[in-house]
Amino acid sequence: MRVNQYIQGLPCWVELASHDALAGKQFYAELFGWRTQDMPIPDGIYTMFGLTPDSASDGEGQDDIGAAYQMPKEMSDQGVPTTWLVYFAVDSVDETVEKVKAEGGSLSMGPCDVGTAGRMAMFSDPEGARFAVWQAGEHIGARRQGEHGTLCWVELATRDPASAKMFYPNVLHWTSHAGDMPEFEYTEWLVGDKPMGGMLQMNEEWGEVPPHWMLYFAVDNCDEAAAKAKQLGGEICVPPTDIAKVGRFAVINDPQGGFFSIITLNLQQSASHLA
């Protein structure tokens, strides 16, 4: 469905920093059926991902859902992995910068204007999980959701959920409540009364994996999409697995090592989470 605006705190954009952006965009285009559009930027190429324009599209960029770019060599040389980054909509980037600093997070880039498209900044939370914020100008962010290949959920993996429950509500105005996961403790993040993300606690089984945000993309059939990802050179980290009352998901590493999840939501969850 079409999206015309995002309110404070909602995930609004996703961005892939890849060790091989050319191979990466080919992988995702084939996996999700995304179209790609390369745009020149001072440091190289910024590739816009989008869905096939629908009947409601009224111009260029009206079906954008995310983007990718080549990770700078100095970052890859430092061992930074191919990474997906989520952007959250904010009313004021500059006010959010001050809130992040006050709550113990750190600013890693910005704040800066992106032409007339909007204003952005990137951060790490107190545990090091990276995220970004976007103050819309002419570009609100992703223009489609609730369809195959679109972002449908974001999930924080953290070793200190109590700290996160203070940091993110104070920075992004979220609320939280306990999720319906009988096997383990799970927190849902809400914007208003809308669940849009979650949080789980990392235990010793996670080893040295750093705290991070996991992105979930909706797919029509989880098993078929996972098999296709493997065929395209991806690695299946968690095979297709049912989540009671939610749907069926899998965790995948793309050929460059970028991790993400896919999920086929049941009809009830699709309606409640994406409406």
Q: Tell me what pLDDT residue 275 has.
A: 36
Q: Are residues 161 and 129 in the same domain?
A: no
Residue 141 covered by a domain: no
201 and 96 in a common domain: no
Domain of 270?
151-274
Domain boundary among 136, 168, 200: 136
Residue 44 lies in a domain: yes
Q: Which of 221, 252, 214 is nearest to 14 (CA)?
A: 214
Residue type, 162: A
Question: What's residue 13's pLDDT?
Answer: 98
- Runs of H (alpha helix) within the chain: 21-32, 73-77, 93-102, 161-172, 222-231, 267-274
pTM of this prediction?
0.93
Q: What pLDDT score does 182 carry?
A: 65
pLDDT at res. 17: 96
Residues 185, 82 share a domain: no
Identify the domain boundary among 136, 159, 194: 136
The token pair at 38 is: 């390369």
75 shares a domain with 110? yes
- pLDDT tens track for 79-122: 889 999 999 999 999 999 999 999 999 999 999 999 999 999 99
- Based on the fold, state whether residues 16 and 114 are members of the same structural domain: yes
Q: Are residues 16 and 58 in the same domain?
A: yes
CATH code for the domain in which residue 28 is found: 3.10.180.10
Last residue of a domain, one of 82, 108, 136: 136
* Rounded Cα gap, residues 44 and 196, in angstroms: 33
Under-70 pLDDT residues of the chain: 54-62, 182, 267-275
Is residue 28 located within the same domain as residue 80?
A: yes
Tell me how many domains the chain contains.
2
Q: Let me know if residue 2 belongs to a domain.
A: no
